[in-house]
């Protein structure tokens, strides 16, 4: 008996299949998390906003970790919470603890390398397709959280500290995110490092695009964090709904049997 490969993979893993739709939603969540974090921080006391974001992140991750299989809505809710918390945490380190952005960016890079090193030493793989155990999923979410914090710091560093502004920063990160795809297609870069390279860059790219739309400084369009967050949220909900329906359709496909 041979089942559908995608359905079989979905039944085992706790994370989504990497498709074009995955990258689009990932980019949208990075932008939405950035502007929503700024929206909350502008209306609540910053320590309170950070505490609420941390609590929401913990709850969403507990739900995600307790599930036995991939759930579209639970997974992407957790990603959104990581995005919001990652933005606030990186901003807290930069602006409240007064750690220079270039230093915090370097620290996050070092932490990410350490997580990847420990993950590989324990599991011998960093593949998304291998997230089928609790320990691997803990490594995965640790890496995801750090990539979001790193991306926030890197985006603020280029747009502000290095005075590139948002538009040049967007161009820079757009070029950077194309590198792993080209290297994988034409120069033999393995799929796993190509994935994680692109995954890291989606954060500063998405966050910088949303900041450019919402902010008034660094050549921003000044549309406001509230309206930008609302539009991005609608887009995310729409596309996650599409994802959910695709998975339902795959799960309902008939199983192919092969007679001896």
Lowest pLDDT segment from 53-57, 68-72, 140-144, 150-154: 150-154
**pLDDT mean across residues, the chain:** 88
- Average pLDDT of the segment spanning 181-204: 92
Which phi and psi angles does 6 have, rounded to 5°? Answer: -65, -40
User: Cβ neighbours of residue 103 under 8 Å, at least 6 residues apart?
Assistant: none
For 3, 25, 123, 129, 243, the CA distances from 17, given in Å and listed in that order, are 17, 12, 20, 8, 10
pLDDT of residue 253: 66
- The crossing angle, in degrees rounded to 10, of helices 5-12 and 225-251 is 120
Lowest pLDDT segment from 106-115, 135-144, 155-164, 240-249: 155-164
What does the H/E/C string look like for 136-174?
HHHHHHHHHHHHHHHHHHHHHHHHHHCCCHHHHHHHHHH
The domain spans of the chain are: 26-241
Q: What is the pLDDT of residues 83-139, one digit of tens each?
A: 999 999 988 888 888 888 889 889 999 999 999 999 999 999 998 888 888 899 999
| Rounded percentage of the chain residues whose pLDDT exceeds 70 | 92
Do residues 191 and 204 lie in contact, with contact meaning Cβ atoms separated by under 8 Å? no
Better-scored residue on pLDDT, 16 or 2: 16
Q: Which helix (H) or strand (E) holds 130?
A: none
């Amino acid at each position: 008996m041979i089942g559908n490969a995608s359905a079989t993979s979905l039944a085992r893993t706790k994370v989504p299949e990497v498709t074009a739709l995955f990258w689009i939603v990932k980019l949208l969540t990075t932008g939405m998390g950035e502007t929503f974090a700024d929206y909350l921080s502008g209306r609540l006391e910053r320590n309170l906003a950070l505490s609420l974001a941390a609590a929401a992140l913990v709850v969403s991750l507990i739900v995600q970790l307790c599930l036995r299989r991939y759930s579209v809505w639970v997974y992407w809710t957790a990603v959104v919470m990581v995005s919001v918390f990652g933005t606030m945490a990186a901003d807290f380190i930069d602006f409240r603890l007064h750690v220079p952005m270039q230093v915090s960016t370097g620290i996050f890079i070092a932490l990410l390398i350490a997580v990847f090193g420990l993950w590989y030493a324990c599991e011998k793989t960093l593949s998304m397709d291998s997230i089928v155990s609790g320990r691997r999923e803990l490594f995965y979410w640790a890496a995801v959280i750090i990539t979001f914090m790193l991306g926030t710091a890197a985006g603020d560093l280029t747009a502000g500290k290095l005075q590139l502004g948002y538009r040049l920063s967007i161009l820079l990160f757009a070029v950077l995110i194309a590198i792993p795809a080209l290297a994988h297609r034409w120069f033999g870069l393995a799929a796993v490092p190509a994935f994680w390279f692109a995954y890291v860059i989606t954060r500063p790219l998405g966050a910088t695009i949303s900041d450019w739309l919402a902010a008034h400084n660094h050549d921003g369009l000044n549309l406001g964090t509230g309206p930008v967050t609302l539009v991005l949220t609608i887009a995310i909900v729409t596309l996650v709904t599409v994802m959910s329906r695709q998975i339902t359709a795959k799960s309902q496909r008939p199983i192919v049997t092969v007679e001896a």
